[in-house]
């Protein structure tokens, strides 16, 4: 019995169906964690990408080193770090926020690379024309660079969203009750792991496929020449 839903272990099918509502609650947590984490990754990644282009060597090198460090170290250890070390410094975030922050941090290292590649892919001629037309830096970015960048970076950013969805189960290790956490709890109380764990896998599979399909559709719908922002 969990969250008010009792389960029926008489046959695998009844077991599977009876834990569906419980796993559904976990699915909500999974989606929320991915949403918050992704938002953090998008914003933080952009900040990191822009800082990396700074003319001040110290800033660009530090950011480059930091980004590489976060990219090449495991999410699990970063998560443990945030979960156990932050309280030592007085920052006590709820487990969910800690998890979302860890996801956002790790993926910001990836998204910053995507942004960088996207900015670099805008042809030099565009930058030169903007200078020739006396556009300010802000106008250049807003009206010329970013609109052309967006269609190019959507595929990569979309893939990272799908990856992040698949990494959310790691949060169950720091008490976040996502689908995997709940499945493990059910397994521990009933000693039947096969059904709960298989269900989690079977829910993730169509979810990632649908997500990938949606991203593909978005990709196709975007005009190749760029999206005007005004």
Partner 1 sequence: MKTMISYGVAVLALAAGIGGAQALTLDEVKSAGYIQAATANEVPYGYMKEDGTAAGIGPDVAIAVLKRMGVNEVNWTVTPFGTLIPGLKARRFAFAAAEQNISPERCKQVAFTEPNSSYGEGLLVKKGNPKKLTTYADIAKDPSLKVAVVSGANNIDFLRAVGVKDDQIVIIQANADAPATVQSRVDAYAATELTVSKLAEGSEAVEQVRPFTDPIVDGKPVRNYGGFAFRLEDKELHDAFNKALVEFRKTEDYQKILTSYGLSAESIKAAAAKNVADLCAGK
Partner 2 sequence: MTWTQYLAPLLKGAQVTVMISLASITIGALLAFAAGIARTSSNRIISGIAFVYIVLFRGTPLLVQLFWFYYALPLIGVSFDPITTGIMTLSLLTGAFGAEVVRGALLAVPPTQLEAARALNFSKTYTLWHISMPQAIIEMMPSFGNLAIQNLKDTALVSLISIADLTFQAQSMRNITLDSATVYTLTLLGYFIIALCLMLIVRFIEMKLRRGPAFPRSAHS
Say how far apart CA 229 and CA 143 lie, in whole Å: 7
Q: Is 121 in the site for partner 2 (CB under 8 A)?
A: no
What are the DSSP calls for 150-217, one per residue?
A: HHHHHHHHHHHHHHHHHHGGGGGGGT---HHHHHHHHHHHHS--HHHHHHHHHHHHHHHHHHHHHHHH
Kindly list the residues in this chain that would bind partner 1 in the complex (CB under 8 A). 2-4, 84, 87, 92, 94-95, 173, 175, 177, 181, 184-185, 187-188, 191, 193
65 binding partner (options partner 2, partner 1, none; Cβ < 5 to 8 Å by kind): none
Alpha-carbon radius of gyration of the chain: 22
Q: Which is nearer to partner 1, 20 or 97 (CB)?
A: 97
CB of 8 to partner 1, least distance (A): 16
CB hemisphere CA count around 133 (13 angstroms): 13
Q: Which is nearer to partner 2, 59 or 194 (CB)?
A: 194
Say how far apart CA 157 and CA 164 lie, in whole Å: 10
CB of 86 to partner 1, least distance (A): 9
Considering only 75, 103, 119, 182, the residue that binds partner 2 (CB under 8 A) is: 75
Which helix (DSSP H) or strand (DSSP E) does residue 51 occupy?
helix 12-52
- Name the region of 136 (left: φ>0; alpha: ψ -120 to 50; beta: rest): beta
CB of 29 to partner 1, least distance (A): 12
Instruction: Count the Cβ atoms, other than its own, within 10 Å of residue 183.
Output: 25
Residues 151-190 that bind partner 2 (CB under 8 A): 166-170, 172-173, 180, 184, 187
CB of 154 to partner 2, least distance (A): 19
- Phi first, then psi: what are they for 5, rounded to 5°? -105, 125
Contacts with partner 2: how many residues (CB under 8 A)?
35
CB of 66 to partner 2, least distance (A): 11
Which residues contribute to the site for partner 2 (CB under 8 A)? Answer: 69, 71-78, 80-81, 84-85, 88, 166-170, 172-173, 180, 184, 187, 192-194, 197-198, 200-201, 204-205, 208-209
């Amino acid at each position: 019995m969990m969250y008010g839903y009792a389960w029926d272990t008489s046959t695998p099918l009844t077991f599977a169906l009876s834990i569906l509502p419980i796993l559904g609650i976990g699915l909500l947590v999974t989606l929320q964690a991915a949403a918050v984490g992704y938002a953090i990754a998008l914003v933080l990644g952009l900040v990191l990408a822009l800082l990396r282009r700074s003319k001040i060597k110290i800033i660009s090198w530090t950011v480059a080193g930091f980004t590489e460090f976060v990219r090449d170290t495991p999410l699990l250890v970063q998560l443990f770090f945030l979960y156990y070390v932050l309280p030592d410094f007085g920052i006590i975030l709820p487990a969910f926020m800690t998890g979302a922050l860890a996801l956002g941090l790790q993926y910001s290292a990836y998204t910053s690379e995507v942004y960088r590649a996207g900015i670099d892919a805008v042809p030099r001629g565009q930058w030169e024309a903007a200078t020739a037309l006396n556009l300010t830096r802000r106008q250049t970015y807003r009206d010329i660079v970013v609109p052309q960048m967006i269609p190019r970076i959507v595929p990569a950013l979309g893939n990272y969203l799908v990856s992040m969805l698949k990494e959310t189960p790691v949060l169950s290790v720091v008490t976040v009750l996502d689908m995997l956490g709940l499945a493990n709890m059910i397994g521990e109380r009933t000693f039947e792991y096969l059904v709960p764990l298989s269900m989690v896998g079977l829910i993730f599979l169509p979810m990632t496929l649908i997500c990938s399909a949606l991203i593909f559709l978005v990709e196709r719908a975007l005009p190749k020449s760029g999206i005007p922002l005004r």
